[in-house]
Amino acid sequence: MRIRVDTELCQGHGRCYVLAPGLFEADDDGYCQPTAERPVAPELADQARRAERNCPEDAILLTDT
Ligand code: SF4
C-alpha cells in the first residue's frame, strides 16, 4: 500500500493526524505532513484506511502495490 495527500484538496481539518498519528503530523499551519507519496508499513494499514475514510476533502489517496 502507498499513500499520498493531494495538497490542492487538503484544507487542514486535522482528522488525519488525529486518527493516524503514525502516518501524519501537522505543519505549523495545521495542514498534514508529509504529503509526498510513500509506502505504508503493514502495521499502519488500518490507520491509513481510517484516515482516508475520514478526510472530509477526499485528499488522502491510497493505492495497493
Ligand atoms: S484530514 Fe484531509 S483535509 Fe484534513 S488535514 Fe488531513 S488530509 Fe488535509
Total structural domains within the chain:
1
Nearest CA to ligand 1 atom 6: 16
Helices within 2-44 (DSSP H only) = 15-19
pLDDT of residue 60: 97
Closest alpha carbon to 23 in 44, 7, 2, 42: 44
pLDDT of residue 39: 97
Contact between 3 and 23 under an 8 Å Cβ cutoff? The reply is yes
CA geometry: angle at 53 spanning 50 and 58, to 5°? 130
pLDDT of residue 53: 97
Residue type (1 letter), 57: E
pLDDT of residue 16: 96
State if residue 19 touches ligand 1 by the CB under 6 angstroms criterion: no
State if residue 47 touches ligand 1 by the CB under 6 angstroms criterion: no
Neighbours of 35 (CB within 10 A): 17
The CATH number for 23's domain is: 3.30.70.20
- Structural domain boundaries, residue 22: 2-63
